[in-house]
């Protein structure tokens, strides 16, 4: 999680919505801050367990937010309910919310759509939701670890 956070902070460029792709640029440094929401004073507890995304970034300039969760396993066979809950809990914090599950991968980094929900399927209310998309970003771990060690 620490190595992935550092890689995102240094090399995550953004999300290309037209091609549904998370963009990274190793030739540039972005110095973006991703942190746990507990650092913002957010702490949702259920018994002894806490519910908070691994990595969060609020981009005030573009009025968007990024909610990412790093996974240590390399296969995802079912819906990740927590990520969907995060989307709904934080939807009103910015005009646009980007969600992604980030998994280690041995091949070339790629992005897929893990979940997509049309807003017409959702109940009306105070949230102004566009398409709800949760990306699955398979991130090449050699790149991540090389970046972690050298930068």
Q: Write the pLDDT tens digit of every residue in 7-21.
A: 999 999 999 999 999
With contact defined as beta carbons under 8 Å apart, do 96 and 130 qualify?
A: yes
pLDDT value of residue 99: 95
Task: Flag whether pLDDT at 69 surpasses 80.
Answer: yes
pLDDT at 29: 83
Specify the pLDDT at position 109.
96
pLDDT, residue 102, reads 95
Q: What is the pLDDT of residue 46?
A: 66
What's the mean pLDDT in 121-143? Answer: 79
Contacts of 17 (CB under 8 A, 6+ apart): none
């Amino acid at each position: 999680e620490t190595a992935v956070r550092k890689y995102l902070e240094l090399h995550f460029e953004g999300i290309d919505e037209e091609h549904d792709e998370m963009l990274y640029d190793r030739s540039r440094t972005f110095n973006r801050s991703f942190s746990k929401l507990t650092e913002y004073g957010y702490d949702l507890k259920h018994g002894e367990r806490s519910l908070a995304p691994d990595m969060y970034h609020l981009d005030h300039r573009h009025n968007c937010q990024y909610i990412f969760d790093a996974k240590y396993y390399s296969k995802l066979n079912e819906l990740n309910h927590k990520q969907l809950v995060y989307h709904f809990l934080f939807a009103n914090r910015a005009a646009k919310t980007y969600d992604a599950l980030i998994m280690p991968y041995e091949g070339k980094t790629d992005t897929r759509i893990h979940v997509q929900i049309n807003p017409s399927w959702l109940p009306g209310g105070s949230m102004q939701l566009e398409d709800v998309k949760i990306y699955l970003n398979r991130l090449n771990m050699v790149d991540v670890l090389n970046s972690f060690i050298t930068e």
